[in-house]
Amino acid sequence: MHGATGYLRADGRKGIRNRLLVAYLVECAHHVARMIAAPFAERGVELVGFSGCYPNAYAQDVMDAVGTHPNVGAVLLVSLGCEEFDRSRLHRTIAASGRPVATLVIQKEGGTAPTVAAGRAWVEKTLPELERVPRVPVSLADLVIGTKCGGSDGTSVLSANPAIGRASDLLVDAGATVIFEELGELFGCEEHMASRAARPELARELRAVMAKAHRYHATMEHGSFGGGNITGGLTTVEEKSVGAYAKSGTRPIQGLLRPAVRPPAPGLYLMDMIPDGPVLWGYPNINDTTEVVELIACGAHLVLFSTGRGSVVGSAVSPVVKICANPETYRRMAGDMDVDAGRILEGRGTLDEVAAEIVAVIERVAAGEPTRSEALGHQEFVLGYKHFAPLGPACFPRPAAGGR
């Protein structure tokens, strides 16, 4: 990444983008927030938000994490006024991070038109401030990288997912932080993951969260296995699991995260995205975008997204790198894909060559090159309700001797 620079934040993290977010705090404020952001789509302004009204600690934590993400330079909060989401806490959290932040309450501003006018004026005034954020050198060791499957088919396990796994090994060896997840797509891999745990107590935690995932999906009477997977050639959730697991590579698993919990040190981590307690809000992730948002809330600067059938989703805040497993899909949807991993199946490349290409794409994206989804204007963001209990010390690496 010679010559690449990032945006230095007050907490020492480095961003690879410098977004201004317009964030709605309840669905009733969504339209107003969208109207504020719309004229600035080509200037790094993005729309995010939470649709719920009543309070939820998970959603609050995710919004806190997104508002202080290293790729974010400023935030405008848009509230209706009577929702129960704690807008004051979110405002304080962002302000304490040193970022410009303002809150507009539609009921106090006088309705839709006055709030849109006030919001656009604030965005226009604040955008020049983002240009003054210090630029510093950035390397792979500064990055947190998420990995995700979506629209998997029978080719995913053969090309894109294992190529991401080999890229994961290269990234971890370079000092980066890599996160994999999708517990509902890791059934059958429990003991494989436990054998790679850096500590015996972590192995027990990995087994426990997988047992929780089994119970949750059994209660829902539905696994993370859709009709598109079946028509794409996958026959069982275990088959799908092999592919999902392949994305993790071979390095030791250093810890267990939950959404909005940042990795405390470099290395490979598993993110638990299955809620704790009884089933209260249905499917643990209603679509692929929710898991991308959770990876971003854990600090992911960008997300590697494997697809065989052909997913087009991107994300607000962090770039999404599409790695296409199926060569036929790539030829049909090349405009949405960043890496043709399907060429492995046609003898036009090897796993190691595609892994090296993935790392090279990461370096270019970190240096400012837009991904295909960014260039196409994708800014998906979905956040719902969940419940998590605090993680215990067994989930995190032990501090190094003499460290702080």
Give the CATH number, domain containing residue 61. Answer: 3.40.50.2300
Residue 37 in any domain: the answer is yes
pLDDT tens, position by position, 135-192: 999 999 999 999 998 888 888 888 999 999 999 999 999 999 999 998 988 988 999 9
* 181 and 113 inside one domain: no
DSSP class of residue 77 equals E
pLDDT tens, position by position, 350-372: 999 999 999 999 999 999 999 99
* 87 and 193 inside one domain: no
* 164 and 200 inside one domain: yes
What gap in Å lies between CA 316 and CA 293, rounded to an integer? 8
**E-only strand ranges, 32-87:** 45-49, 72-79
Residue 222 in any domain: the answer is yes
**DSSP H helical ranges for 336-384:** 351-366, 372-375
Rounded to 5 degrees, φ, ψ at 293 are: -60, -40
Tokens matching residue 191:
């003991």
b (16+ CB within 10 A) / e for 123-149: beebbeebeebeeeebbbebbbbbbbb
DSSP class of residue 20 equals E
Rounded to 5 degrees, φ, ψ at 8 are: -80, 125
> If the chain, 404 residues long, is cut into consecutive pieces of 10 residues, what is the mean pLDDT of each piece?
90 98 98 98 96 95 98 98 97 98 98 98 98 96 95 87 97 98 89 97 97 92 64 60 86 98 98 94 87 98 95 96 96 98 97 98 97 97 96 90 46
Q: Answer whether 302's CB lies under 8 Å from 359's CB.
A: no
* 145 and 261 inside one domain: yes
Domain count, the chain: 2
* 157 and 98 inside one domain: no
* Closest C-alpha to 325, from 245, 250, 238, 232: 232
* Closest C-alpha to 298, from 276, 312, 318, 322: 318
Domain end position, chosen among 92, 112, 132? 132
- pLDDT for 241 equals 61
Rounded to 5 degrees, φ, ψ at 382 are: -135, 130
Domain end position, chosen among 132, 160, 194? 132
- pLDDT for 403 equals 42
* 115 and 156 inside one domain: no
Residue 78 in any domain: the answer is yes
* 237 and 349 inside one domain: yes
- pLDDT for 284 equals 86
Domain end position, chosen among 113, 132, 151? 132
Q: Structural domain of residue 376, as residue ranges?
A: 140-391
* 119 and 175 inside one domain: no
Helix (H) or strand (E) holding 182: none
What gap in Å lies between CA 404 and CA 402, rounded to an integer? 7
What gap in Å lies between CA 362 and CA 368, rounded to an integer? 10
* 101 and 215 inside one domain: no
- pLDDT for 340 equals 98
* 247 and 317 inside one domain: yes
* 305 and 260 inside one domain: yes
Q: Answer whether 137's CB lies under 8 Å from 7's CB.
A: no
Residue 12 in any domain: the answer is no
Pairing of strands 135-137, 5-8: antiparallel
Instruction: Please provide the DSSP assignment of 79-142 as one string.
Output: E-SS--S-HHHHHHHHHHTT--EEEEEHHHHTSHHHHHHHHHHHHHHHHHHHTTSPEEE--GGG
* 150 and 95 inside one domain: no
Rounded to 5 degrees, φ, ψ at 208 are: -65, -40
Residue 396 in any domain: the answer is no
